[in-house]
Structure 1
Amino acid sequence: MCFNKDCVKINKISVVLFSVTIFFTASIFIAPFLVGKGEVKNLDGSAWRVGYREKWDSMPLFPRLIYYFGDINCHQKYYRSYYINENQMPVCARDTGMFIGLSFIFLISIFVSAGNTIKNTVITFFYRKIRDARKILILFFLFPVPAVADVILQMLTP
């Protein structure tokens, strides 16, 4: 509870979003340890489709759910994935990075007070560093550039 203007207020929605994303982020790192060494490798599926139902159904419940989640949401190309415990992770390297990034952003946003506009929220996020709306717009358009470049490169390469 805050009794003075200097205390930190916690954004409850961000706590929920952080909890969900950190759960999935941790799960994609834990799941490969919960199945036998080398049991999951050389996956080459496609997104929005379950391609390895037989493989997942033979797993214990927790890794089964996480690998199903990865199978539905990710293409799972073996040459674009990390391996842990000699097992391919449930999602590719790009999705792993996005989960880590989302977890980090939601962690930071827990301590940022929301403004009534996106501009005001970003200003509170960067507090004293950025006050100019043009700089905020530049950041707003620059932040997604690596993700867009990655998508374009993946479309152009086999």
Structure 2
Amino acid sequence: MQNSRISLDETDSRLLAALQRDAHLTAQELGEALNLSASQAGRRRQRLESEGLITGYAARLDPARLGLTVQAFVQVQMARHGTETAAAFSRLVATRSEVISAWTLTGEADYLLRVYCEDLAALNRLIHQVLLTHPSVARVQSQIVMDQFKPDAPLPV
């Protein structure tokens, strides 16, 4: 993870905020929103991309319309720690499409996984047949999301 902070002026911040709301904006539309020419807006976007501040563009999908009715956060506590153990667990998580994001943590749990599953039975299989069968996993605790009242938001810029 790169830790060097990139300095942004107000126009860069407004450009990033606009792109987080709608990544389909053309250079012309960005220019109009920022009071710049289309070429100036396009060059700013390209600079922010090349500096690694914009890391990609993606569509947001509706999980329920895809049949993913269960969202959960799964805490994983390891029995053993070490470089190879962490690498093996990371490889396992990378193979599982239902795990959409994962973090290492301080505190009692070592990992936090955000997962989407078709139903409770699929979540149960993930926990009992995949995670708990990993040789270094000691404990798994899940919290099922009842309602997400604030959707994933853009980063504050």
TM-score by length of 2: 0.26
So what's the TM-score if we normalise by structure 1? 0.26
More helix per residue: 1 or 2? Answer: 1
Q: Comparing both structures, which one devotes a greater share of its residues to strand?
A: 2
